[in-house]
Structure 1
């Protein structure tokens, strides 16, 4: 005996004249919207964590810049001393060839090290010493290590070295 309250599959199909509220297309649109929300939340999380990571690494690099400035001042002062001592030697001095070779090596390493530093490119000390090194090296490359630097050129180079030294003392 079958009870009238038991629903069989055939009876359920015939007895369901109404439409269900949630259709498969609505499920897809809801899941697509939630998928977009999840994706945007994931993007926000990744960009936020990348920003925090980058700022922490940049903050850790700031103390190294102070040591780099001290190193720049020290090495620039050494190069200035070599320029002055080399330019002070007479033509017949037996040490002039070694002094010029030492100056060229020091100036090449100084330029190679500091010309890529964007923070230093705008400094007056960098500009002046770079110009002086370029003039001295250019003269010795063109005329040889025993050729004396002409008086006008020598005066201009020494003025550039002096202004670079003053700028270094001011921290510029």
Structure 2
């Protein structure tokens, strides 16, 4: 693959950070979602799209769903641990079946600074805490629940450049 674009959409910057690292490693063009369109995406042999996970959605995924490209990789960025999280429902909700079969997908871990969250996102996190964490007994809490509870309202950052290695190796193997 010679001509690669890395597109992304982010609210708070962790997806952008991963997109920058990936573009640097691969010598790819970096495009924020609003800079990309059907015409310029067709110029690339491979498009790698990154989107943050919010309320079961992948930010900016409509860019590559509505503007299909020949070769597509998607990476998501969220707070959950990719090693223990099942993303099947999210992927099925966001990427149509025909596209899903020919798209390689990677999941990366992001971060959150509650002080920078928008009012709707802060409300969404409060509702999530109330609906899940607060309703469980201590014995019912999973490791993810405990991590969420312990970092709620603060600042946590799990971004790690080393975690892009499988994606980079995959692309170099194409």
If you compute each CA radius of gyration, which structure gives the higher value, 1 or 2? 1
Q: Higher helix proportion, which one?
A: 1
Q: Which structure shows the higher strand fraction?
A: 2
Instruction: Give the TM-score of the pair, scaled to structure 2.
Output: 0.26
TM-score (norm 1): 0.26
